[in-house]
Every structure is written in C-alpha cells, then in structure tokens.
Chains A and B, each alone.
Chain A
Amino acid sequence: MLGLLLTVLRYLFLFLLYAFLFVVVRQMFLGLRENPTPAAAEGGPGSDTKPFPGYREATVSKPSGRLVVLASPDPRLEKGMTFYLGERITLGRGEHNDLVIPDPFSSQEHAVIFSRGDQYWVQDLGSLNGTYLNEVRLDRPTVLADGDRLRIGGVTFQFVRWAYEVESS
C-alpha cells in the first residue's frame, strides 16, 4: 500500500514539473498576446496615480501637445515614439529627466518644455551643444508651434498639437 502511494507520488512529482512548465509557458504566451501598452487599457482616465511627470491624459481644457521622435541614432528612442507633454518636462541625458535623451551630444540637463496659458515654451538650460528649433539655435525661451522641429544632438522631435484643440482655441 505504502509502495503504491510512493510510486504515485513519484510520478506525480515528475508530472507536476511538466504541469508547472505548461502553466508558465501558457502565461507567457498570454502575456505576449496582451496589448503591449497596458497603461491605456488598464490605467484609464480615472486612474488616480500620476507617477510620470511627462505623462498626462488627453483633455480638452488643458493645453496638450506631444513630441514625436523623427530621428534618433540610439535604438531606445525609436522613430515614431510619442511623448505627451505635461506642465513642465525636462529633457537631457541624465536619468532624472522626464524625457531622457540617450545621445552623446546631449547635456545632463539639456532643455525644458513648459506650458504658459495655452502655449508651450521651450528653453535651453545652458547646454553645451545647444537646442535647435527648426535648425536655429535657441538663445531665449521660445513658443512652440504645431509642426516645429526640435533637435538635441542627433535626436529630432516634431512638436504636435491636438488638431481639434487648435480649432477650439
């Protein structure tokens, strides 16, 4: 009797190893099929957490713009990546920035984009290699307009305002 129980347990042990493997692989597979941008699906507009200074839901009342990556030599900023602008976001090579620019020609604290009224302003923070707006080097805080090209080192962004919002304002 004990021998039988032992045999059953031994096979069950091996079986459970494979059961575990099956469940793990199945969960990984489900994870792959899931929407890769979970914030939009699960965070939702009602989410009360706001851990990301650069991140803001699209609302009509506040000014909302975004930066779209046009060109970047570093694979971590891919062409087409979009960053939503908040009240104030900092750009630079340092990890503490809201938008990290992984480019050797970017300074630690390179530039800042902030909103005043319903407009966005960009200001260079005394960077070594400069911030270029439409290939003109910034020497003072400047208002951003829809379609403007912002370049830091080898990374180029396009500034985009929400189309419907431009009409309403």
Chain B
Amino acid sequence: MFFPRAYHLRAVEGKLLFWAFAYLLVGAGALYFLKPAPSTAVVLVGALTTMAAFWGLHFFWSWTGFVGDPFLLPLVALFSSTSLVFLYRLNPAYAFRQFVWLMIGLFTLWVITRFLIRYRVLADYKYVYALAGVIGLLLPIFFGVEQGGAKSWLDLGLFQVQPSEFVKILLVLFLAAFLAENRLALAEGTRTIMGVALPAPQEWGPLLVMWGISLLLLVFQKDLGAALIYFTTFLAMVYASTARITYVFLGGALFLAGAAGSYALFEHVRLRVEVWLNPWQYVETAGYQVVQSLFALAAGGLTGSGLGAGLPLFIPAVHTDFIFAAISEELGLAGGLGLLLIYMLFVYRGFLIALAARDDFSCLLATGFTALMGLQAFIIIAGVTKLLPLTGVTLPFVSYGGSSLVANFIILGLLLNISHETQLLKPLENG
C-alpha cells in the first residue's frame, strides 16, 4: 500500500528528527568530553540507542501509512534529549533510569498507535474512568509513601508509581466523553432562573461530584500541584465545550474560595504562599529551594554557563521539579526561552489537532490533553521562576520521573491517533 499523504508527513517528521538527534549527539558529545574516559562513553551509546528507538517508531509509522501529526514526535524527541542530557549531567544514575522509562514510554506509544488507532471506543466507558480515577487517587492515601510533602506514590517494590499522573489522563477521558454528550444542555441551559439560562442538575451534577471527590482527595494527599492542574484542565475543557465564559468566572471564583480556605486551614499551603511572597526570610529553611533556583537563573545570564559548568546541584529536587532552573543556568535565558518556545509549539499543534477533529469527543479529548500539557509546563516553570507559588509538578517529558513520562507518552499517542483519523477523513469533504 502507498499513501502519498503519509509519505509527505513522515518525510517532514524524519527531517525534524534529524535535527533533534544532531542536538542530542552534540549534547552527549559535550558530556563525554567533560570527562573523557572509557566509562563515560556510555552517554554516546545511550544517545545512539535513543535515536534508534525514535527512528524505529518513525519507520514503523512510515511503513504502516500512519498520517498522525508530523511535528509532535520530533518535539518530544527534543524534550527527551534535553531530559537525558541534563539528567546525566546532574546524576548519571537518574539518566539511566530515565532512559529505561523513555524506552517503556516509546513502547507504550507504539502500542497505542498500533492497537488503539480506533480510540473512539474509549468514549463508551466514561463512568469506568471516573471510578478508576477515584480508586487511583484513593490508593495512595491508604497504601502510599510520602515524598517531598506529598503522599502520592505507591511502592511496588521494584519501582514507585504515582497514580495521580495517570488519573489526569482518566480525568480528561471522562470529561471529554461526558461533555461531548451533554455539551448542548450545558451550553444553552434547560431552565431559566432569574433570567439566566441554567442547565439541569443531572447535567452538571456528575461533573461537580467528580470534581469534589478529586479535590478532597488531593487535599488529603497534599498534592497541590496535581489539584491545580486538574482544576485548570477541567475549566479549559468546560469552556472549550460550552463557549460560556460564565463557567470560567464561576470556576475561578470557586478556585479563589478554595485557595483562601486552604490558606486559612493548612499550614503547608500558608508556608508556600509566604515563601512565594518573600523567600528571603526563609532562606535557610523553606525558601532555600526557590532562592537557590533564583540564583541559578541569575547565574545563567544570556547564554548560560555552558553544559556541565554551572552549579545546579545546590537546588534540592533539581532533577524533577526544578530541572528548568538547571537548564536555564547552563543554557542561559536563550536556552530557557528556546525550551518554552518548544512547549508553545507543542500546544499549538495540539490545538490545531483539536480544531480539525471531526466530532465533539475527539475535539475535547485533544483540547483537554493539550491544555493539560501546556498548563503543567506553565505551572512548574512559573513556580521555579517565582511567578506563582511553587507547586510540585513535573515538567512534561523533561523532568525525571517514570510515571509522568509514561503518562505523557500515552497522551502523545492519543493526540497522534486523533490527528491520524482527521487526516484520513479529510478527502471526504471538498473545499
């Protein structure tokens, strides 16, 4: 079989992957020449294996005539390259683990684009997702282990899993299926109270219940970052499906009330806000991380200290939440902005996929996943640069963390499947 469209798209993808790999190889080369020794040559092997894995997926898609978006995989290849290079520079042990997770992630991506190409069947199980999501959030409360103030990890012996990373996928799946079904009722309202058209409780009830449960659970888990991402993604999807700004204002007001309430109730929230307002008064204790991050950003200057020449290891958790500070220190403002631009391009492609999608479910799914990615990147970068109070979430595809990486590859796979279907259906219409 020969698909000219697929050939063209995959040719673009191949060309972009080539540039991403040049970037990875130069990074790995710099790491090698920092400490030229036979044992360091493992970075070059790792870089070549990563390249081979991405190329393998690319050739598989060319062979099967996959017409998914050609930009997403190269953008993710660049994120993964940055991730591996910086994790190796920070601590080679993290880079090895991340490399293994990357391979698992790429395998997951292959499975999704190979066997879940008819992703629409996912729309039929929305209450299963709601249930699975609630269970996924409940498990760590009873069986979880605490790390960095948040009790959101499950210890599986060999490795630890963070269920909330996967619950966010379930949340988007549930919301997309639910909103696609009830979009008209929510947008236009079925009854009128005081001149305002409102939808009936059976339409917004399940949303609110689902919502309340996740927020309560997150309060008990103390995972503020995840709660913030869930809530903003939820608002983005409701707005995308109803085009009613009222819901956004209402949600914003609810959020502010919730924020004020948790500020009054919880010690750890109050501390976060105070550190955000003035980290210098806690410079030796709670503010240490943010202050070190600010020092790192300042030390980077315009073009950075150069790979391996900075001192990012002063920042606690630099390999997960604060990896952006390390990147900005060693690649400077230029490198940080470059990475931000790549996130923006990723979000741009995601919204293009959503706009082109043929039905509500696909459109909302793509919107939700894209909003999730964009908001997550924004929230953690804003936390690291002290634009917002710090909430611990990972930088998608770049931070160290297996659960997060695999979850992001699942999202990537579904986005690609949606764009694949849109491209296939394109010839049906004329002009």
Contact = CB atoms under 8 A, between A and B. Distances in A.
Nearest to B67: A38
Contacts of A6: 30, 33-34, 306
A13 interface: yes
Interface stretch (A16-24, A107-115, A125-133, A136-144): A16-24
A51 B359 CA distance: 19
B1 A83 contact: no
Interface of A: 2, 5-7, 9-14, 16-21, 23-25, 27-28, 31, 37-40, 42-43, 47, 49, 51-52, 54-55, 66, 76, 80-84, 95, 99-100, 102, 104
B341 A21 contact: yes
A2 B33 contact: yes
Contacts of B19: 16, 19-20, 23-24
Contacts of A21: 338, 341-342, 345
Contacts of B429: 37, 81-83
A33 B50 CA distance: 33
A9 B30 contact: yes
22 contacts: A2-B36, A6-B30, A6-B33, A10-B30, A11-B303, A13-B30, A16-B22, A16-B23, A17-B23, A17-B331, A17-B339, A23-B15, A24-B71, A27-B70, A31-B12, A38-B426, A42-B5, A49-B2, A52-B424, A81-B430, A82-B430, A95-B120
B71 A20 contact: no
Contacts of B71: 24, 27-28
B427 A27 contact: no
A16 B27 CA distance: 10
Nearest to A6: B33
Contacts of B33: 2, 5-6, 9
B240 interface: no
A94 B5 CA distance: 27
Nearest to A52: B428
A16 B29 CA distance: 13
Interface of B: 1-5, 8, 12, 15-16, 19-20, 22-23, 26-27, 29-30, 33-34, 36, 70-71, 74-75, 78, 85, 120, 184, 303-304, 306-309, 331-332, 334-335, 338-339, 341-342, 345, 348-349, 358-360, 424-431
B360 to A, nearest CB: 7
A52 B78 CA distance: 35
Nearest to A15: B26
Given A54-B428, A83-B428, A17 B120 contact: no
Contact of A80 (B36, B78, B431): B431
| Main SS at interface, chain B | helix
Nearest to B421: A95
A76 B359 contact: yes
Nearest to A10: B306
Given A23-B16, A27-B71, A55-B427, 13 more contacts: A10-B308, A12-B26, A14-B335, A20-B16, A21-B341, A24-B74, A24-B75, A24-B345, A37-B427, A80-B431, A83-B429, A95-B120, A100-B358
A43 B424 contact: no
Nearest to B357: A76
A102 B3 CA distance: 29
Nearest to A25: B345
Contact of B338 (A7, A17, A37): A17
A102 B363 CA distance: 13
Contacts of A31: 12
A39 B332 CA distance: 45
Contacts of A17: 23, 78, 331, 335, 338-339
B3 A49 contact: yes
Nearest to B29: A9
Nearest to B4: A42
A54 B430 CA distance: 12
Contacts of B424: 51-52
B377 to A, nearest CB: 16
Contacts of A76: 358-360
Contacts of B331: 13-14, 17
Nearest to A78: B429
A37 B425 contact: no
A80 to B, nearest CB: 7
B208 to A, nearest CB: 23
Contacts of A11: 303, 306
A43 to B, nearest CB: 6
Nearest to A44: B4
A159 B36 CA distance: 73
Q: Ordered nearest first, which 6 A-B pairs have the shortest CB separation?
A: A39-B427, A10-B306, A9-B30, A16-B23, A42-B4, A20-B19
Contact of A20 (B3, B23, B426): B23
A37 B15 contact: no
A39 B428 CA distance: 9
Nearest to B307: A10
